[in-house]
Structure 1
Amino acid sequence: MRTSDDLAGLLRALRRRHARHQGDGELTYRELAARTGWSHTAIAEYLTGKTLPPTDRLDALVRLLGATPAEQGALATARDRIEESRRRAPRTPDRLVPRQLPADVASLAGRDDELALLDKLVAAPTAVVVAAISGTAGVGKTALAVHWAHRVAHQFDDGQLYVNLRGFDPRGQALSAAKVLHGFLDALGVPAARVPADLDAQAALYRSALAGKRVLIVLDNARDAEQVRPLLPGTSTTVVLVTSRNQLTSLVSLDCAHPIPLGLLSRDAASRLLTNRLGAERVAAEPEAAEAIIAACARLPLALSIAAARVQQSGFPLGTLATELGTAGRRFGVLDAGDAVGEVRAVFSWSYTALAPPAAGLFRLLGLHPGPDITVAAAASLAGLPAEGTHRSLTELTRANLLAEYRPGRFTAHDLLRAYAAELSDGTDPEPDRRAATTRFLDHYTHTTHTADALLRPHSDPVDHLMTPPAAGVHPERPTTHAEAMAWLTAEHPVLLAALRQAAGAGFDAHTWRLGRALDTFLDRQGHWHDRVETCKAALLAAERLGDPVAQAVAHRFLAGAHTAVNRYAAALGHLERALDLYLRAGDAEGEARTHQNLASLWDRQGEPRKALEHSKRTLVLAEAAGHRRAQADALNAVGWCHAQLGEHPAALAYCEQALALLQQLDDRAGEAATWDSLGFAHHHLGQYGRAVECYERTLELTRDLGDLWGEADTLSRLGDTRHALGDPTSGRADWQRALDIFTALNHPDAAAVRAKLQLP
């Protein structure tokens, strides 16, 4: 033992042995400093050989690390010899320890969970630790890796190796493993003459050079697992940190790498990043502009950093930058720091150009899709290709982190990537091809919604008007049960609204009308009334542009229903009068009957049962004349309900029982639910409370099966009244509370009446 490096090596060996004996991790510099009372820096210098410890400190340290008395004496003697040799001979330079980490980032926002996970991985390793940080371009993979590496560098006494593998570098090919190994071996002090030519032999020498050493290795910007695998050491004393735009699935599955997916910043973290760069006072002065910048940058760290730099350099208000970012076609120009690695568009392009042609083509087409997410089936229709091949392309895009499969079978991309895909499609794909792709995905959603709607209310108005066969390459989904239909519509709800808006804005009027009409039942039952108003308005405008009186009449009637649901009665009446006029001109007796039924419902909601009864009776006459049994059953229930509202309960029961018999023959569960509710109301007011409870409970079974939230709450409110009348106020209050919870969740004004029953403020 001749040098302080040699002594430091023995101290580290003692520390490792002590950890094994204790069955715990090695004592960190901080822990040793706390136990000895010395500085953290002094501990680091003793254990890395930079400083020869004084005799008393060496004795204290080796005792702390569990040395035997004989070992203590030998180490003290060795220490004195090293000091004596230093006095007698000129000091030779110590071995150069590689410290290759790039400069740390000034501040890192929103990555506490990932940092904690990395800390946990290296706390007590039993094998070589490999952590694979993956994420989309610009999400901050390198920043996280370098920041954590600096944070733990003191734990790796034998050095830190770093290389940019250039896996997605626009300036040339990715670095070969052989070239990286040459550089690492040189940094580890292996003479060039000893480095063999064969890659496997180089990797073996590399592993030998690292054996038993505490070294941190950062492999940044890897293209794939094949590029990384020869660079993995074989000793548990090393830790490897890999970053890549790809998910490196092979490295995770075959080499036991720990995946650390990196997503977009949270809104709060994005705000902290801006604040760190611009100062709290500046951000607080323009909070709305700051929020707009965060949204335009899609919470992507690279984009936010470039935006902050633009503000810092220009000195302009945040509002100016927010306006530029919000201007169509300007966003990517603003997010350009002047070189390839500082331009968002260019950074995205490196991932795009690495794609296989089918995946690249699908990525461009996804820029036409309105979002916020897409399934395999919808993507296959968008591309006009079979589902199996489309799924392969979606998987490739996900592995490249150009998409994220955030729920099984549902794929999404952040707004900047969507904008980039749209820009690519606009510049690459011919306009006829783009319009054909738009037609395909609109056909997909329209036809699938049509199928789902027919399952929700099989006896509702037919929606075959303006329906045409789907375009070639479209494969609509086929839900077969009510539950499947509800599940599909619930999952696709935001997508369908976005698709309808896009169809309306792009001149796909027939699709707009069909989609708006087919969504009506679902939106009504689930309480999405404001969405319902929006979709019905869009459908009406589309019908007017088409000049189609039948479509206009239907849209007026459904828009009236949407207005009625949110208590906009005057608007509803105007639309129903317009619908009735159109049906009368067309000689459409069935449409006229349905409009009278809607008018009856409108007047009933306004507390005008006699006016409602007139329209209900007119509906019944028209339905009987047309031989329309379903409309006739609805009319019978409506007439009975109106009689009940007028206090004519025996007549109400007679009409409603006729309606119920007919509805049960037709297997119309929605109509049956409404009729059981009417019967419950009539029985209640005849003092037949037990029978009323039975009717209401049957209504609740049906409304819950149908997913009719408002209908469920409305019936619960009346059931609570009946239980109170029966002398069971506890159950009655429970029913009212459940009704209030639903009305409140739906933000419906009927909550006020139930709140009054409960005597709540």
Structure 2
Amino acid sequence: MPVIDDGGTALWFGVLGPVQVRRQGAEIDLGPRQQRLILALLLANAGQPVGINDIVDVLWDQRPPPSAVNVVHRYVGAIRRSFEPGLAPRSAGRWLLGDAAGYRMRVDAENLDLLHVRRLAEQARSDEEAGRLTEAMSAYETALGRWRGPCAGISELATFDHLAFGVVDHECADLVRAAATLAVRLDRARSVLSVLRRMAEQRPWDEALQAQLLLALSADGKRAEAITLYQNVRGRLADELGVDPGEELREAFQRVLRQDSAEPGPSPVPGRLRIAGVRATHRVLPAQLPADLPHFTGRDEARHRTLSVVNGQVLARVSMPVLAIDGIPGIGKTSLAIHLSHQLADAHPDGQLYVDLRGFDPGRVALPPAEALHLFLNALGVPDAEIPANLDARSGLYRSVLAGRRILILLDNAHDVEQVRPLLPGAPGCLVLVTSRRRLTGLATAHGARLMTLDVLSADEARAFLIARVGAARTADDPRALDEIVERCGRLPLALAVVAARALTHPDLRLTDVARELRETRGSLDGFSGDDVSSDIRTVFSWSYQRLGVRAARTFRLLSLHPGADVTLSAMAGLAGEPPAEMRALAGELVRTGLITEYRPGRFSTHDLIRAYAQELMRSHDDEPDRDRATRRLVQHHQLAADRLLDPTTPREPPPTVVAPARNAADEAVAWLTADREVLTATVHREIDEGRPATTARACPRAASAARDHPGRAHGSRSTLGPVTFAQGNHPDSVARLRVPRRYGPQPPR
């Protein structure tokens, strides 16, 4: 394989077999197993970034040591120096790059066997579609010649399989099957037989691969060996799985018995694979997309980003574009995905597939991938009798039917990555859009998916949304009411849609009246109820809430007591009275359901309407003493944080129900105050409003004392805390406060 000549520093990387790196033909020592495993993972991702958490999982299988991240950094440095021995410490070098998304290798089709094989496979498919079958076969044979075995020789590096390596192996198996199909058709089965045998040995449960090997053996005159192979496979399936061979394998065997292993005539369309046991389905053009909104507005940036990503990958034709859209309930994920799908439909002339995966519908279980595949295969023209029962076999058939076709696939309302993965095509040409309340990072890691998290609409977009639905004439009469509605809806598309529907249902209702109704609900969700459960905002939020465990649900309700716009993990633990170590898991559960967002590490926020929903739940589930105890824990948490940051030597220990922050260096006090100023201010005002001014009054002199601000301490004691304690009836303490030495009080001007 050619490499870029770089004055003797050019490298060639191999991952289609045991991981290798060569410089001018000589193999480089890659060091211990852990380093080779990291490099294997990076190469299997073929230049896409790999997150540090994924590397840790591969090395320690979810049981990492406390120093795991530091160890990974050391391994990465050692790998870099193996590539470039003279590399300066802490330098990234030219091959292994790191950024906020993780680590990635600087590789292309000239220096990585995986990318080179993908380019050859794409060339073969293109030649086959154009009817240049001899050229296509040559490209297939060259590509198969690069394959040395299972991806990275992973069985020698790890004690468990990892998805990234399995994806590459599956891709190679698909390539071998496509090459074998054409080889049998051209009477050149012998050219692929060696690789086909080895691949079939390593994938004994892949019935499609075993069927192709039967046909290739028979085409090469080895009919007896083919019959023996079938008997062995059938016995293995019966003994170890208790099942009979599937329809595809049985039909291949019948063709061998009839000595009819050649493809029966040319493909109806040049380059389209004819799948054993499945009638030709290439003329079926599914068009399953739901109707687009008649007046879609906003999301211009999201639309431009999507079109840019899709156009880039389609033009490059090196990978299948996958876009995963996530966001909180009611943010408009499905509406955007459907709108984008209609815009991109013309670029996918072989049809559009759609399925609601029911990932967050409490009334129905999430749609199993096997059932979704059944629906898709039916839509593509495959009858029930020819659809395998096994999930892997069904997924393989689905990929084979889609091979060489340009189809758009919309997977709506996904619960997690595992529900989506079997529904992904295996080759370029198709486009997949996924929506979920969860951020599907696994799709980005294993399949190079682009992730897009939707935020609320901008103020201008929200106004345009209402104008488009209600009418420009009606909204022009009262722009102030329009702005108030936008803000009371929190610029959430679902809330705006509900209000717009109410305005349309009552044409005599002025926008001023709509705004007043929302104002009079005083922060509740009464103004956003609808007749349709799919658009009732409480119902939509409840689909996420009902997915929570008992402790996570309680935490969500209590979060409505937090007075600030955002909350830290430690404050969340203090509010709920949960151990900090366990609160991380509970917060993760809330994030995964879309009820809160971790907008930066350790800090969480939620939409105002979701907060209102949490308040409603809290009033009906948590009695007043429980709410008071949670509020007291939160106040005490902030008091401890202030004490420990302003004076880390403070010996004060928290009550057992209060989660205390760690003792931090004093220089972190300003950063803490800056980050939490709004929360602290809101907490102080609430304490005063609820008749507990002494909390703040006592805290001020302590803070002044820690800062050696003697005049400030005197002022706080004499002017604030003294009167407060007097009002509480604690006269001795009040007198003591008022007698603070005058030398600490205000000084006359000199």
2:538 maps to 345
Equivalents in 1 of 2:359, 2:567: separation in Å?
29
Q: Aligned pair in 2 of structure 1 residues 197, 507: CA closer, same or farther (>3 Å)? A: same
Equivalents in 2 of 1:16, 1:380: separation in Å?
66
Q: Aligned pair in 2 of structure 1 residues 352, 154: CA closer, same or farther (>3 Å)? A: same
Cα distance, 1:424 vs structure 2? 1.3
Q: Aligned pair in 2 of structure 1 residues 334, 255: CA closer, same or farther (>3 Å)? A: same
Equivalents in 1 of 2:537, 2:575: separation in Å?
26
2:307 maps to 119
Match of 1:546 among 694, 704, 728: 728
Matches within 5 A, 1:36-185: 95-125=283-313, 126-185=318-377
Q: Aligned pair in 2 of structure 1 residues 182, 303: CA closer, same or farther (>3 Å)? A: same
Identity of aligned residues (%): 41
When normalised by structure 2's length, the TM-score is 0.57
1:247 maps to 439
When normalised by structure 1's length, the TM-score is 0.57
Match of 2:689 among 505, 519, 541: 505
Equivalents in 2 of 1:346, 1:300: separation in Å?
15
Q: Aligned pair in 2 of structure 1 residues 250, 587: CA closer, same or farther (>3 Å)? A: closer
Q: Aligned pair in 2 of structure 1 residues 236, 365: CA closer, same or farther (>3 Å)? A: same
Point out where structure 1 has 5 or more consecutive residues left out of the alignment: 1-8, 21-92, 459-463, 526-532, 553-584, 601-611, 614-641, 643-761
Match of 1:487 among 671, 674, 685: 671
Matches within 5 A, 1:226-237: 226-237=418-429
Output one character per residue of 1:476-508: Cα deviation in whole Å (capped at 9) or x when no partner: 335544421111011100110111122223333
Assess if the C-alpha contact under 8 Å between 1:162 and 1:219 holds in 2: yes
Equivalents in 1 of 2:519, 2:604: separation in Å?
25
Q: Aligned pair in 2 of structure 1 residues 388, 157: CA closer, same or farther (>3 Å)? A: same
Equivalents in 2 of 1:231, 1:276: separation in Å?
36
Output one character per residue of 1:168-194: Cα deviation in whole Å (capped at 9) or x when no partner: 123311212222112111111112221
Match of 1:334 among 527, 534, 558: 527
Q: Which amino acid aligns with 1:594?
A: Y
Q: Is structure 2 residue 561 aligned with structure 1 residue 368?
A: yes
Q: Aligned pair in 2 of structure 1 residues 521, 136: CA closer, same or farther (>3 Å)? A: farther
Cα distance, 1:202 vs structure 2? 1.2
Corresponding residue SS for 1:138: coil
2:597 maps to 404
Matches within 5 A, 1:178-577: 178-314=370-506, 315-328=508-521, 331-454=524-647, 470-478=654-662, 480-515=664-699, 546-547=728-729
Cα distance, 1:235 vs structure 2? 1.5
Equivalents in 2 of 1:193, 1:302: separation in Å?
42
Corresponding residue SS for 1:123: helix
Q: Which amino acid aligns with 1:431?
A: E
Q: Aligned pair in 2 of structure 1 residues 131, 539: CA closer, same or farther (>3 Å)? A: farther
Equivalents in 1 of 2:481, 2:535: separation in Å?
23
Output one character per residue of 1:352-382: Cα deviation in whole Å (capped at 9) or x when no partner: 1112332222111111111211111111111
Assess if the C-alpha contact under 8 Å between 1:133 and 1:262 holds in 2: yes
Cα distance, 1:550 vs structure 2? 8.5
Equivalents in 1 of 2:392, 2:563: separation in Å?
49
Corresponding residue SS for 1:342: coil
Equivalents in 1 of 2:701, 2:131: separation in Å?
74
Q: Aligned pair in 2 of structure 1 residues 253, 592: CA closer, same or farther (>3 Å)? A: same
Point out where structure 2 has 5 or more consecutive residues left out of the alignment: 1-124, 137-280, 710-714
Output one character per residue of 1:104-162: Cα deviation in whole Å (capped at 9) or x when no partner: 11233331221122112211421122111111100000011000000010000100001
Task: Point out the structure with max Rg over C-alpha.
Answer: 1
1:617 maps to none
Equivalents in 1 of 2:489, 2:685: separation in Å?
23
Q: Which amino acid aligns with 1:342?
A: S
Corresponding residue SS for 1:132: strand
Corresponding residue SS for 1:360: helix
Matches within 5 A, 1:725-740: none
Equivalents in 1 of 2:703, 2:680: separation in Å?
8
Higher share of residues assigned helix: 1
Q: Aligned pair in 2 of structure 1 residues 188, 522: CA closer, same or farther (>3 Å)? A: farther
Equivalents in 1 of 2:628, 2:430: separation in Å?
55
Cα distance, 1:468 vs structure 2? 9.1
Q: How many residues align?
A: 470
Equivalents in 2 of 1:198, 1:475: separation in Å?
50
Aligned CA-pair RMSD: 3.7
Assess if the C-alpha contact under 8 Å between 2:290 and 2:338 holds in 1: yes
Assess if the C-alpha contact under 8 Å between 1:489 and 1:522 holds in 2: no
Assess if the C-alpha contact under 8 Å between 2:578 and 2:659 holds in 1: no
Equivalents in 2 of 1:541, 1:268: separation in Å?
50
Q: After TM superposition, where is structure 1 displaced by more than 6 Å over at least 4 residues in a row?
A: 9-12, 518-523, 536-542, 549-552
Cα distance, 1:454 vs structure 2? 4.8
User: Using CA pairs below 8 Å that are at least 6 residues apart, which structure has the higher relative contact order?
Assistant: 2
Q: Aligned pair in 2 of structure 1 residues 411, 540: CA closer, same or farther (>3 Å)? A: farther
Q: Which amino acid aligns with 1:392?
A: A
Output one character per residue of 1:166-221: Cα deviation in whole Å (capped at 9) or x when no partner: 11123311212222112111111112221122222111111111000000000001
Corresponding residue SS for 2:324: strand
Assess if the C-alpha contact under 8 Å between 1:513 and 1:543 holds in 2: no
Equivalents in 2 of 1:112, 1:374: separation in Å?
31
Q: Aligned pair in 2 of structure 1 residues 422, 133: CA closer, same or farther (>3 Å)? A: same
Equivalents in 2 of 1:295, 1:171: separation in Å?
32
Output one character per residue of 1:266-291: Cα deviation in whole Å (capped at 9) or x when no partner: 22221221222223343343233222
Output one character per residue of 1:242-278: Cα deviation in whole Å (capped at 9) or x when no partner: 1011112333323332211111112222122122222
Assess if the C-alpha contact under 8 Å between 1:370 and 1:498 holds in 2: yes
Output one character per residue of 1:386-420: Cα deviation in whole Å (capped at 9) or x when no partner: 11110111122122221111122111101011111
Corresponding residue SS for 2:525: helix
1:744 maps to none
Assess if the C-alpha contact under 8 Å between 2:354 and 2:412 holds in 1: yes
Q: Aligned pair in 2 of structure 1 residues 371, 215: CA closer, same or farther (>3 Å)? A: same
Equivalents in 2 of 1:446, 1:512: separation in Å?
9
Assess if the C-alpha contact under 8 Å between 1:439 and 1:471 holds in 2: no
Cα distance, 1:339 vs structure 2? 1.9
